[in-house]
Amino acid sequence: QVQLVESGGGSVEAGGSLRLSCVASGVTADRYCLGWFRQAPEKEREEVARIASDGRTSYADSVKGRFTISKDNAKITLFLQMDRLLPEDTGMYYCALDGGRCWTSVRGVDYWGQGTQVTVFS
């Protein structure tokens, strides 16, 4: 059973930084895609960034140049370094994992973490 556990959320002033972590356990696939989604109150869940099994990354336009996704393959741990945070970055951040190729939609994600709250105040 795959489990994803996020940590690192918190409350920070606009312009500040946070680093999220996600530890994955129970993963048996040789190749997998990892990513971060977020959901603000009364809004749909949206993808923030992803990193494929070959290390290729992609980002939402709203976070390009401010967020950096990375992973530790040995420990199957995912990170999201968030710099120059804005109030609109506020939301619950979820770790996601798919075995093999990356998902093509939110509904296509195989596994989710419980989420970690990020609040950016001005």
pLDDT at 100: 83
DSSP 102: P
Polymer length in residues for the chain = 122
pLDDT digits 0-9 by tens, 27-54 = 988 889 999 999 999 999 999 999 999 9
Q: State the pLDDT confidence band at 73, using cuts at 50, 70 and 90.
A: confident
Higher pLDDT, 89 or 30: 89
In angstroms, rounded to a whole number, what is the distance separating the alpha carbons of residues 67 and 88?
A: 14
Pull the structure tokens for residue 108.
């296509």
pLDDT for residue 83 is more than 90: yes
Cβ neighbours of residue 31 under 8 Å, at least 6 residues apart? Answer: 53, 99, 100
The one-letter amino acid code at 102 reads C
